[in-house]
Amino acid sequence: MNKTLLIIKREYVSRVLKKSFLLVTLLTPLGIGLVIFLAGLFAAKGSQSTKRIVVKDESAMLSAKALEGKEITYELSNELLDSLKKNYVDKGYDILVHVPPYSDDTVATHQISYFSKEKLSLLQIEKIEEKMENVFRDYKLEHSTLDKVALKKLDVNVKLENAMLSENNKDAVGDKSSKFSSAIASGLSYGMGFLMYIVIFVFGSMVMRSVMEEKINRIVEVMISSVKPFQLMLGKIIGVGLVGLTQLAIWMIIIPIIITVAGVAMGGPATTPEMAQTTEAIQKIQQENPEVMQVFLKELSSINWALILPVFVIFFLGGYFIYSSLFAAVGSAVGDDLGDSQQLMMPLTIPVILAMVMIPAVFTNPNGPLAVFGSMFPLFSPIIMPARLPFEPPIWQIALSIFFLVAGVIFFTWVAARIYRVGILMYGKKVTFKELGKWMFYKD
Amino acid sequence: MNILSIENVRKVFHNYVALDQASFDVRKGSIFGLLGPNGAGKTTLIRIITGITRADEGQILLDGVPLNTHHPNEIGYMPEERGLYKKMKVAEQLMYLAQLKGMSHDDAKQSIRRWFERLGMQDWWNKKIEELSKGMQQKVQFVATVAHNPKLLILDEPFTGLDPLNADLLKDEIYQLNQQGVSIIFSTHRMEQVEEICNDIVLINKGKILINDSVAAVRNQFKEHKFNISTDRPASDWSLPSGFSADGSVGNVTTFKVESGRHSNELLSYLINQGISIQSFQEVLPGLNEIFIKLVTEASHSQTNVQP
């Protein structure tokens, strides 16, 4: 068997069969599932606040009709405040709201008070305040000379729709998408950028640690008396990369299953009244805004996946290769002092973090100079180009960016390999950047 | 026939000459000692032979063929700093290393099985390296070096860290391999081992070859015409004739030096004439250790630092 393949196989198998790999791979989706389940449970608990509120209105200005509400039931009472205070709980109310005598229309701020066994949450207070504001406003309106119909006409709501013709097909009818599309694009953009960031750091440092381990173990001299240093480095990078892809693939299968299971657990046979209420609440939202889900799905399907996915995969692989080979070079140079590795990693962490910082600027201006520059420079492009993809950058820019990426992969892998081959045999020397530069030009 | 020929090999590291026109041959089937003080260029030479680095000038023939990419498969190398993957199981580890030397899966398995039986390691098959004692790890390391049936074995300080029992075991294995036709290069500082084990030696200092010959020839070359003689009466009872100078005596044994122009037999006949009976008579050859120290100190006095 080819020696590089043997190395890839060992690097892959030894990691995949580790208990920690199994734990991380299985526990992460379970953790996500648990979080979703708990979030649903808490949401259900929260919406259980169908509180019964009794309102004592001193000036009898409020009507029962005005107080009708969806989530909270308000009832008026004629009893005296003092007796209500004593018996509102016995009568089955949760909260007693006291509206003091109404003075005159010029007062803007009205103080009302509540009595409750427990302190109300901010959300509950805001809900009651909002209700009371509306009721007071309507009351004031009725007793003023203003025309309610005329006032209604003043309500304005502007929706900016995207009518942009697509770049590739100028004859096409403009795809009228809502601002939703920008939100989805931004989310996708950030998501892909963030995924790259995680991949670079998690798997890059995995490669680095493994190189350091071989150097400290001294196995490396035995290894390179059998294989070329480049074969060893390449085998390691590909092996660890395959571990990453395996993990992602498992997650892509397991996470939807867990989400569905968690969803069914909450939406299926209502085992508790809380759950039934959550499902009802979700259904209610869907009934009230049927277009939201539809628009969301429509927008998702209108994204040019056929372009985004393959291009993302190219940048994913390119970015992984560039950074993991550089991490391997750093690992080979450090030896046993972890403190040194921090210093040598700096030039790798800086571009990654800079690229992450650039992402928000990329979605405010996806075709601006910063975005274009970022997607051409191979240390930034693996993060910036995927972030630009949902905004459909010009094809020539994608092509040029891929060209630079490939050139970058070749260049940085070469640089890393030159440093690596010297570094793995170098012991007991504190390595400076100047030293690393010299190593590149050492003869074999 | 030579298993290895080093021809005018030169290697320069940016500011110093690690090897300077080094040439020597290693006879097929011999046990060869590669000697030299620290920093002499031994490790550089070994790394060039094993293909880890390349010579700047000169060439190296392995079994008559210039070094190529297949040659690492025919060499077994045990570096001075031993190393194994700590988390790997013994068998997995050895299978991996043997396959990296170009063996097929089945051949590797068979060969490792045989070595495990030979060294009594059968129970270790599924143990992790980190669970083994240091001595046991050394044995695993040795199997890793020889499992792929190399023609040439390069052992860098193979006995360091071994207890006397394991060192003897290893020595026996090395002899056995040698009898099966494997050529062995030893790199070491321990001269008594070299005298005991090696047929031929080369002594390197500062990248230059100081001496290259069989152990016997080297000792002969540096002999100081000293002899030990033991007689039936204490040394104090008789005195040496002119032309022979005493070099210390213990009990009945006298060490003496024969001055130039004289012959040791003259002393024998002198003693016989005196009626002193001789119990033993033996030439004292210098140890490799002395020769080593002598040559290296002389060289460092006469040599100025070599510039590239």
- Looking at the domain B224-284, which fold is it? Alpha-Beta Plaits (3.30.70)
Distance from C-alpha of B41 to C-alpha of B158, rounded to nearest angstrom: 18
What domains, with CATH codes, occur in chain A? 52-145 (3.40.190.10), 180-439 (no CATH)
Q: Do A222 and B77 touch (CB under 8 A)?
A: yes
Q: How far is B296 from chain A (nearest CA, A)?
A: 26
Closest listed residue to residue B151, CA positions, set B200, B102, B215: B102
Task: Report yes or no: A7 at the B interface, CB cutoff 8 Å.
Answer: yes
Of A3, A221, A443, the CB nearest to B79: A221
**Banded model confidence at residue B270, pLDDT cuts 50, 70, 90:** confident
Q: For B65-108, give the DSSP string.
A: EE--TTGGGGEEEE-SS----TTSBHHHHHHHHHHHTT--HHHH
Q: Do B99 and A223 touch (CB under 8 A)?
A: no
| Poorest-pLDDT segment among A82-86, A157-161, B123-127, B177-181 | A157-161
Distance from C-alpha of A189 to C-alpha of A311, rounded to nearest angstrom: 13
| Angle, in degrees to the nearest 10, between helices A381-388 and A395-423 | 160
pLDDT for position A125: 83
pLDDT for position A167: 46
Domain boundaries, chain B: 2-213, 224-284
Strands B183-188 and B208-214: unpaired
Of B54, B77, B83, the CB nearest to A444: B54
pLDDT for position B116: 93
Q: Which residues of B touch A226 (CB under 8 A)?
A: 72-73, 97, 100-101
pLDDT for position A7: 95
pLDDT for position B232: 82
Find the distance separating the first CA and the last CA of chain A, reported in whole Å.
26
The tokens for B39 are 């920093």
pLDDT for position A93: 84
Q: Do A217 and B51 touch (CB under 8 A)?
A: no
Q: Do A444 and B53 touch (CB under 8 A)?
A: yes
Identify the helix (H) or strand (E) that includes residue A301.
Answer: helix A290-302
Distance from C-alpha of A341 to C-alpha of A345, rounded to nearest angstrom: 6
Q: How far is A209 from chain B (nearest CA, A)?
A: 13
**Cα separations (Å) of A83 from A52, A56, A80, B100?**
18, 11, 6, 91
The tokens for B259 are 């001055």
Of B72, B83, B101, the CB nearest to A218: B83
Q: Do A225 and B50 touch (CB under 8 A)?
A: yes
Beta bridge partners of A96: A54, A115
**Which of helix, strand or coil describes residue B256?**
strand
Neighbouring C-beta atoms of residue A382, cutoff 10 Å = 32
Identify the helix (H) or strand (E) that includes residue B21.
Answer: strand B16-27
pLDDT by position in tens, chain A (length 444): 589 999 999 999 999 998 889 898 888 888 877 887 787 777 666 555 567 788 888 877 777 777 776 667 788 888 888 888 888 888 888 888 888 887 777 777 888 888 888 777 777 788 888 888 888 888 887 777 777 788 777 877 776 665 554 444 444 444 445 556 777 778 888 888 888 888 888 899 899 999 998 998 889 999 999 999 999 999 999 999 999 889 888 888 887 787 777 666 655 444 455 555 555 555 665 565 656 666 666 777 777 778 888 898 899 999 999 999 999 999 998 866 667 777 888 889 999 999 988 888 887 888 888 989 999 999 999 999 988 888 888 999 999 999 999 999 999 999 999 999 989 888 777 778 888 888 888 776
Average pLDDT over residues B136-146: 91
**CA closest to A442 among chain B residues:** B14
Render the burial of B111-147: b for 16+ CB within 10 Å, e for the rest: bbeebbeebebeebeeeebeebeeebbbbbbbbbbbb
Choosing among 1.25.40.80, 3.40.50.300, 3.40.30.10, 2.60.40.1510, the CATH entry for B2-213 is 3.40.50.300
Backbone angles phi, psi at B106, to 5 degrees: -70, -45
ipTM: 0.83
**CA closest to A422 among chain B residues:** B53
Interface A–B counts its CB contacts (< 8 A) at 61
Q: Which residues of B touch A214 (CB under 8 A)?
A: 83, 85
Q: Which residues of A touch B47 (CB under 8 A)?
A: 425
* Residues with Cβ within 8 Å of residue B292, at least 6 apart in sequence: B35, B191, B203
Q: What's the number of CA atoms in the CB half-sphere (13 Å) around residue B45?
A: 34
Closest listed residue to residue B239, CA positions, set B202, B270, B195: B270
Q: Do A218 and B96 touch (CB under 8 A)?
A: no
Q: Do B72 and A223 touch (CB under 8 A)?
A: no
Q: How far is A326 from chain B (nearest CA, A)?
A: 22
Residue to test with chain A: of B100, B134, B140, most A Cβ within 10 A:
B100
A399 burial level (CB within 10 Å; 0-12, 13-18, 19+): exposed
Q: Do B100 and A223 touch (CB under 8 A)?
A: yes
pTM tops 0.90: no
Task: Report yes or no: A222 at the B interface, CB cutoff 8 Å.
Answer: yes
Q: Do A222 and B79 touch (CB under 8 A)?
A: yes
Neighbouring C-beta atoms of residue A17, cutoff 10 Å = 9
Strands B152-156 and B183-188: parallel
